[in-house]
Structure 1
Amino acid sequence: MPILELLSRAEKLKQAIVNISKEIDHHLLALSPTTDLDNYKKFLTLQYSYQVEVENLYQHVDLHKYVDNLFDRTRLPFIEQDLNDLKHPLPNRTLQPRCFQHTDFAYALGWLYVIEGSQFSATTLGKQVEAELKLNNQRGARYLAKASECNKGCQLSHLIDNLELSDEQQATLIEGAEQAQQRFKFYQAQFY
């Protein structure tokens, strides 16, 4: 029996996107976002642009039915405060979002899985920002503090494993996660 058949739905999703996740993380770390204030501002600008794009997910009608405290999970206000602390202007919102309040549920869940899963790196980056740049959850690093508050990625994995999804919805879930990562890579290329 192939190993993939033994994996849970969330594990299959993670397996489907693991290579691009590693690529994104490696690229970000290679850019040293915490070594100086200019690099950190680029990092925040990248995060801001991406969070603007996904902001609608936190208002998604169907996701709200299944995901606890969805409205409170948005991190956009924290990035805005961080950029303001650092006297850095907010980037222009020039691109149309790919997800809306009524986007297909499985597709939106795939996007949310990627967004919430990115929190695991936030704890490490937050510690580096505090040590190297002397920023914290009161000034300049609210976004990282908010992102690392709790392990929401595991909550989503549990939800994904326990939802009743058709084969088509499972494929759409993976497609949403892949598109979320590709979109982040697009923004990465814009700012670095």
Structure 2
Amino acid sequence: MESIILYGSRYGSAQRYAQALSQQTGISALPADQAGNLSPYGRVIFLGGVYAGGVRGLAKTVRALKPGQALLVATVGLADPNDPVNAANLRSFVRRVLPAERAETTPIFHLRGGIDYQRLSFPHRTMMALLYRQVQKKPIEQRSAEERAIADTYGKAVDFVDFQTLDGLLQAIEKGSDA
């Protein structure tokens, strides 16, 4: 089955994962906004950065899919994907844009990215400053994984990218057949 890796990345973590996945599988990786016609592909492997409750490029990619095309999705975000509440939130971000027939059958993976406040756009820096102020008002024991990540990393450059966490996605790709 012909496959393609697409990614939606603003600051680079999803792109880095997509390129590493491409190197490990031999499947071509492209930015989602440059993908064009997806008809030749039986399977689309999508990696997207999580921004403000959405997954960058996922909705457009899903709209471009034809019936019968397989989809695998990996989110890339700052908060720990091993936290059950955070993982549930990430799944809901993905399922919100999937049609009903895909929502229950699409494998969803979660990868940890990073943030560099110096590289953030002015609107994103402003949004993070507002979020940080809100988080600081909340007692530590009541903070979600995402809120803890914001508090712990605010103003810093941190990189949680770990290519070993691609193993689950690699297994799903191999299970679904080859590139």
More strand as a share of residues: 2
More helix as a share of residues: 1
Q: Is TM-score (shorter-chain normalized) higher than 0.5?
A: no
Give the TM-score, by structure 2 length: 0.30
Of the two structures, which has the highest relative contact order with CA contacts closer than 8 Å and spacing of 6 or more? 1
